Structure 1
């Protein structure tokens, strides 16, 4: 009986020790929209409260580059961009809303926010001139460009005007400007269409990676989307494609926001995928986490914490880089906050 009690106590102490060693992550959210598709927001106080509750030290903050139209023929205002067939249109004032929200903050709070410019038409070769004006209008504020919408499911279909491509002339001028000002670019470019089971649009991403080696590109959720998953479930070609791109292009970084969590990082049982774990360990500084919330912050902390099972499968140093530090290292050298995180 004494031996049984001893074994029981030993097991309990071992369990407590393991619990004590459980990792407690601090996060940087590398993909957050301050407003929704109607350019409305829960506001800064609610965002700050959600960040504090979720252990989120820093966020990339941007607007939404398009606004949803409430069409004259619709008696009820849609709740989302896909709520009806009315179009969306390019909306430059989204950056003004972000800048105004930042001006409400005291200097200590402001250091936690890293604003990206997004309010421009990526089909317009005047876009780089507009971005330059915004940089001059708010000197020292902007720390990146994006999220740039190119191939984007139903957003693409609903957008007034031509379909943007990541490799068009207008965006080439934007990428040159990004390199000039040391600004990372968050780019939404779907890897394929809803029906093609191959990387149909990959060239549109790969061409800028090749032609603009001095521009840092963050690929929003690695070209995936919930709409693609509705039609195709898991994209089997995604992992080998991302592997090759990371090996070939040192200026590419991967945003592991929500559509990457399942079915890629975690399987159907919530267990980490060994191949994705191995890929992140192969490139430990090239992945960031994002919530991709749009203007409403109730689920912000839970969305970031959902990555913990995958982070726990990584080496501790790698996990902390992915959870927090990699995003800070991507920012301009003068805009990475007060932690002294240097670019690798």
Structure 2
């Protein structure tokens, strides 16, 4: 191999060569500092509110493109009704005033899809059982039957829909709460089977500028210390942000809860990205960075996609400015490892 002659004095470095050297140094610096994140998507729904899905091939194509090595896979515990008086089928649960009803077959759909996977794909998928009515004290008996029907298949429970924006008002039957007696029975079952539980429980209403409903999630945290709780979106939602751009009390509340309850884990899915983790200019918030660094094992990422997976990479990569501002080891925990660490047997680690 021949040697390349490099100019040794400033006069020998032409302007063009100087630009090339600068570009080369910048490229080298970028290569050294860039992080190649591997992800676990801690919050993804295999089906939508009509129990339809793009299917496993589309899911794995999206996972591979996004660098998502593992995914939590849940159904949707309710189905949207196409009302007799509606001329057009709604596209989302909030598309019209028709209600939604509890739909246990969602878990049958998830289980059937998972069982058909070859071993190398199946190890990357972590099914959560969600198709039960959390306002029914019979729910724990149903969940137990489902766990016994497919031993070892289910690795968690949820996303359990309790207080959930306008979906709450649209749901037929009694309204569930995260601290009701039916859910208490579910938590005891989760502890028995060592299963984490993901709960959607809004922290407040559209117009109250205080943690109005905090007791509904805090009581289970306090009363069931042996259950690992994943709080979906930390109690936030896009609907809340339409009325209140930012919940000023959210971060201080999380600071206290994380200190008081070592069984609390936070799903940093899309409604937390802005305006909390990143500001309007896309810069990471230093207070949230400090909070994640203080509890590096308690945060995880989720896309919260429902039945359609083409945007998976876009959703996960949107967190990279925040991850890049964290220490590398902490960032990789948040991006991938923390979700796997709370599964039974820490599957995937």
**What does residue 317 of structure 1 align with?**
329
Paired with 2:127 and 2:183, the residues of 1 have a C-alpha distance of: 19
Paired with 1:66 and 1:268, the residues of 2 have a C-alpha distance of: 34
* SS of aligned partner of 1:32: coil
**What does residue 149 of structure 1 align with?**
161
Q: What are the superposed Cα offsets for residues 108-145 of structure 1, whole Å, 9 maximum, x if unpaired?
A: 11000000000000000111111100001111100000
**What does residue 281 of structure 1 align with?**
293
Q: CA RMSD in A?
A: 1.2
**What does residue 96 of structure 1 align with?**
108
Q: Among 182, 186, 200, which residue is 1:174 paired with? A: 186
1:213 matches 2:190: no
1:11 CA drift (Å): 3.5
Paired with 1:44 and 1:314, the residues of 2 have a C-alpha distance of: 33
Paired with 1:96 and 1:18, the residues of 2 have a C-alpha distance of: 50
1:124 matches 2:136: yes
* SS of aligned partner of 2:242: helix
1:18 CA drift (Å): 1.9
**What does residue 247 of structure 1 align with?**
259
Paired with 1:246 and 1:172, the residues of 2 have a C-alpha distance of: 21
* SS of aligned partner of 2:86: coil
Give the alignment's TM-score, normalised by structure 2: 0.94
**What does residue 58 of structure 1 align with?**
70
Aligned length: 337
1:110 matches 2:119: no
1:298 matches 2:280: no
Q: Among 220, 235, 247, which residue is 1:235 paired with? A: 247
Paired with 1:331 and 1:172, the residues of 2 have a C-alpha distance of: 20
Q: Which ranges in structure 1 are unaligned for 5 or more consecutive residues?
A: none
Q: What are the superposed Cα offsets for residues 51-71 of structure 1, whole Å, 9 maximum, x if unpaired?
A: 011100000000000000011
Q: Among 156, 161, 166, which residue is 2:173 paired with? A: 161
1:75 CA drift (Å): 1.4
**What does residue 282 of structure 2 align with?**
270
Paired with 1:319 and 1:35, the residues of 2 have a C-alpha distance of: 29
Q: What are the superposed Cα offsets for residues 177-234 of structure 1, whole Å, 9 maximum, x if unpaired?
A: 1011110000000000001000000000000000000000000010000000000001
1:243 CA drift (Å): 0.7
1:9 CA drift (Å): 5.4
1:260 CA drift (Å): 0.6
**What does residue 187 of structure 1 align with?**
199
1:336 matches 2:347: yes
* SS of aligned partner of 1:296: coil
**What does residue 32 of structure 1 align with?**
44
Paired with 1:24 and 1:309, the residues of 2 have a C-alpha distance of: 13
Paired with 2:169 and 2:246, the residues of 1 have a C-alpha distance of: 23
Paired with 1:243 and 1:183, the residues of 2 have a C-alpha distance of: 25
Paired with 1:123 and 1:47, the residues of 2 have a C-alpha distance of: 32
> Stretches of 4+ moved more than 4 A in 1?
3-10
Paired with 1:12 and 1:45, the residues of 2 have a C-alpha distance of: 40
Paired with 2:21 and 2:340, the residues of 1 have a C-alpha distance of: 42
* SS of aligned partner of 2:338: helix
1:19 CA drift (Å): 1.2
Q: Which ranges in structure 2 are unaligned for 5 or more consecutive residues?
A: 1-9
1:150 CA drift (Å): 0.5
1:14 CA drift (Å): 3.0
1:14 matches 2:22: no
Paired with 2:310 and 2:229, the residues of 1 have a C-alpha distance of: 29
